[in-house]
Structure 1
Amino acid sequence: MTGTTDAIRVLHVDDASDVADLTATALEREDDRIEVITALDAESALETLASRAIDCIVSDYEMPGQDGIAFLNVVRERDGDIPFILFTGKGSEVIASDAIAAGVTDYLQKRGGMDQYTLLANRIQNAVESARHRRTNGEHERRLEMLIHVLPGIVYRCRTQSPWQMENVAGDCETLTGYAAAALETDTVGWETDIVHPDDREAAVQDIEDALEAGRQFDVTYRILMMDGDTKWVRERGGRDCTGRIPGERLEGFITDITEQKKRERALRETQDRFDLVMQSAELGVWDWMVQTDEITINEQWATMLGYSLEELEPTLSTWESRVHPDDLPRVWETLNEHLAGETDYYESDQRMLTKSGDWKWIRDIGTVVERGDDGTPIRATGIHLDISERRRHEEALRELHSIATDRTRYDTETAICERTIEAAETILEFDLCVINLEEDGMLPITALSKGVPPDGATTMAVDEGIVGKTYRSDESFLFDDVQTVERANPQGPYRGAISVPIGDYGVFQVVSEEVGHFDEDDRELAELLVEHTVQAFDRLTAEAELKQQNEQLNEFASVVSHDLRNPLNVAQGRLELAAEECDSDQLPHIDRALDRMATLIDDVLTLAREGVAVTDLVTVELAATLDKSWQYVETGDATLVMEMTHAIQADEGRLQQLFENLIRNAIDHGGPDVTITAGDLDTGFYVEDDGPGIPPNQREAVFEAGYSTSTNGTGFGLRIVKQIVDAHGWAIEATDGQEGGARFEITAVEIVD
């Protein structure tokens, strides 16, 4: 951009407003032709350049956002010729080098005093005058020189009368034609008569003459014959020389090799032909979108996916949008726009689309931009539609099957579990005819079946009979297209397609259909997953039964211990009291302490036995309230309790209280009667710690073993009982250092209740 002949309009960019004002004042005083426009950053400067004619730019280097070099790069992309002077207080060889590489016109470092503005004004005047001179006097030569060096072809000057004798030829003539430039300049070889292809000669000459007669530039394409006889496609552009520098009329132009472009155009046409063929015959839904006009072409399969014929659909962008589910459309457009902007290699999205019948069908859309303009603007995109409804149904079924895994833990009989399995098969997998046979004394009687199975459609079979027996014995699932063709299948009705899946050692699950080939591998996979959850439910019942038996045995043991050990102990304690009344012996206190220790051991052993029973009934328990209750049941003396607990958890309240009591006793036994005990929350549980002597690192695992104790009064069962209670809940416990150096016990993996 340039200003008037006399005026010099300068755009000064500097983020320091006081410096900018001073510079403007000084420059306008130095030369009254200079008009300074100020910008405080590169962004506002670019806005000024877009709206006003500027003769020269003067820019600082250090500025917020873009620095001076970055600003110069942007300016050069827009206008490679406008004078640009870097006027900066930060001087270095690196900055100067970068500025020169970016195409700076001049580089001037700021100094003190007003003389610098005289120098700057002089540099501005010289730069603007040079630029104006280049534009007014050297434009023609510059364009020719640029064409010669840049274009893969030739630049020429010739007479305007046919046969257009060449007077000057520059560029790579031999590569283009096989002839030396001198051969054309001496008329040894004529461009029109010897090089232009005979079949294209008349049309090319006529087009050029018509353009010259109309006073406009010409632009023609034609074939040429090289010296070796090969053929090339070229593009010739030019017009009359109106400079008047050479007497007579002359024609100037340039000729470039466009053979590769023609090959690409032919390949594009062939691609289009193949695409049109695919559009007619593909089993996939195929679409082609002209992005600028929103014109869309689809094939028959695209329409069929939605239940239409091709004639019923108007293939426009708005038609497509109206059929995409409203909840999916924003996400689809976001993905598509990212690809159109060049941010992704291809476009892919899953969306629900409305069918002719009013249902929603899941469609996967995959496409890519196949043609862009020179500026990257998308021109044409193409892609395919896939019907993924069955795949989505399969995925949804998988999610729902996983969700019912915990649901079946609520059922406490095998029959209830089987009935829930049948229900899930019907509602989630859409299996209408299902039956479950559970093994009993070598037979496989029916335990549960779908409502659609008639009474005579299933029967009890032996473990060595039919498909059900084969499935049970082999512990392998089977998929049959037609059970009528399977030897020894013994179907109980007009059934053809079938899936048979073993339920571990418990029995067999089967689903059947009256249609041949009704089921596929996806159906078998879903059936196997359903049955896997059924097996887990059966295993849970078995484990709970075994656990119940173990609990009963432990309770029986505790009762025996309580009866058979406490009675003799009580007798011994009573006799000791009588003996103390009848005689005075220094041996009696030793006996009394021994009997007390035996009583404590019996209590701990009984507690240990009871706490080994797994927890089955959990309730919501407030940690602080339970700890407070435990504190009341322990002889705490001068000990101090600091509670920092807010959690509520799922636990057996009685056992949790026992855990707290044992940890409190342990702290007092080892930390002394005035110990301070602190209890608080953890992200996944809670902790109890004291300020006593602590536990050496090499003993922190051993403290949970039965009989381990460092106290003369301890039984060694206190922390073992704590560990038993933790394990019975499925928690974890770790002994570590307290904040005051004492012992700290962290209980984690606890179910916190919000």
Structure 2
Amino acid sequence: MEGSYQTYFEKSPVAVFVVDEDGTYLEVNPAACELVGCSESELLSKNVSDLSTSGESTPPSFQHVRETGRVQTELQIQHSEGHLIDVLLDAVSLGDGTFVGYVRDITDRKEREREVESLKERLELAVDAANLGVWDWDLETDTVQFNDQWATMLGYSASEIDSALDAWKSRVHPADRELVMEAVDAHLAGETAYIDTEHRLQTADGGWKWVRDIGHITERGANGDPKRAVGIHQDIDERKRAEQELEAAHDRLRQVIDLVPDLIFVKNRAGEYLLVNDAVCEAYGRPAEEIIGRTDQELLFTEEHPKAFREDDLAVIESGEPKTIPEEDLVTADGETRVFHTTKIPYEPSGSDDDAVLGYARDITELKAYERQIETQRDNLEVLNQIVRHDIRNDLQLVLAYADLLHDSVEESASGHLHTLQNAAQDAVAITRTARDVTEVLLQSGADRAPTRLRPVLEGAIDSARSNHEHAAIQVEGSIPEVSVLVDDLLESVFRNLLQNAVIHNDQELPEVTVTTTAGKETVAVSIADNGPGVPDEQKAEIFEEGVQGLDSEGTGLGLYLVETLIDRYGGSVQVEDNEPRGAVFTVELPLA
């Protein structure tokens, strides 16, 4: 038997130490020597305190076995190279003052336990930091355990949470419950790798909180039936509410886009529609879902339009610059050809790196028709202007010429009638001149202005007025300054009409007209004063309106309207005031060039 024991002692994989009452090693087997990295002789020269990490002369484990006769414990001992070894010690007293200890190396197991503990600590820290609610479902009892964060997330304390599965189900929003249970059942049946849902849970105050629920089966029975599942609840309430607000904003924007009468669309590089508003749908005669993902080639009713649209789209995408197409035709679903003014700009759809083009097209069909109508009217007005300027005026000049020839041939009793005829013809000539000027204003609304010397223009108008109204006294007070104003060639018509107005609407036997010019730093003012009946206060504000006639006037009312229209074009002003002791003063103010 002694031989068998010795063989076991020598061959045992377990380290065996035999020590005396003082802790001195009496016997050690090869496994013990290998464990601590010493030779047998080295080890037999040591004491248990030499391998202890406590630093005491009598290690606690050795003291305990001396007192009780046996000890089982886990501890660390010193290796000869200085590192520590985790061991499981089973020591007994042999009753004769000696002790035997069986020591197993458990370093690997303890390292794994420490790693698991560290991982557990990190996981708990992560769960706490992320405010994750953890659940643990026992499928055999249908009970669920929750951590404190899960309860706090919903406004409860841990003691208030019922562990029954039905209690958890009752907290799921009714609208989400079916979806959640379908996801759970699919995972339990092995159809999905995880339970992964987003749903609402009722909080302690009766409200609802959005959570993301992720879990999976961690344990199955012998027959494969699930026994345990664990998972987390993540608070996603803020994100879901932000998504809902974004969705609501998107819906509002969509409503606004659909209310816009212009065609609004987005197309990608391949020419496929990514977005269209209701106006596009109406033009194409299709709902949005039949347009999205399709191209103009598939949607339009002609061959040339898709090609032109495609060229414009690619030009914008390639250049990265906006492009405006002043006029382009589109045959709509009802077969009508409409004209559009289209603008296309580079666009990058949200969440995509694909190049695209954003376009908006305004229907200008009616506007173009109106422009053609206006152009026709302008042509007709030009014809009328030619007639007024040439045919009618030439005939009136002929009347005046023959009237002058008859002046010495008619009897004295008829001379009054001849004078009336001459005055009427002269007035008609003046009217044709005013009508000509008004027509030119209408035809040349965009005429360019240029710096023009004021003095020769004003002097020319005064000379013409003196020649046409020899019975009137027209004088210039002071000198006309040498200044330039920014006007066109119709400025003389302004002064001619004001001078004519001062004479022909004068009730005095000798109409007197005085022209005064005053230059300032930025403007020049030309005043034309008369000794006529003046302008009543109630007419001063409206006398320059089209067709408004002066007091007891038989004129057309176009002269002063023409004056106000031209002065407004020049960026100036015109006003009328009372003259002293009687009459009116018309003052034109023009900015200097």
TM-score tier after normalising by the smaller chain length:
0.3 to 0.5
Give the TM-score of the pair, scaled to structure 2.
0.36
Structure number with greater CO (CA < 8 Å, separation at least 6) is: 2
> Larger C-alpha radius of gyration, 1 or 2?
2
Give the TM-score of the pair, scaled to structure 1.
0.30
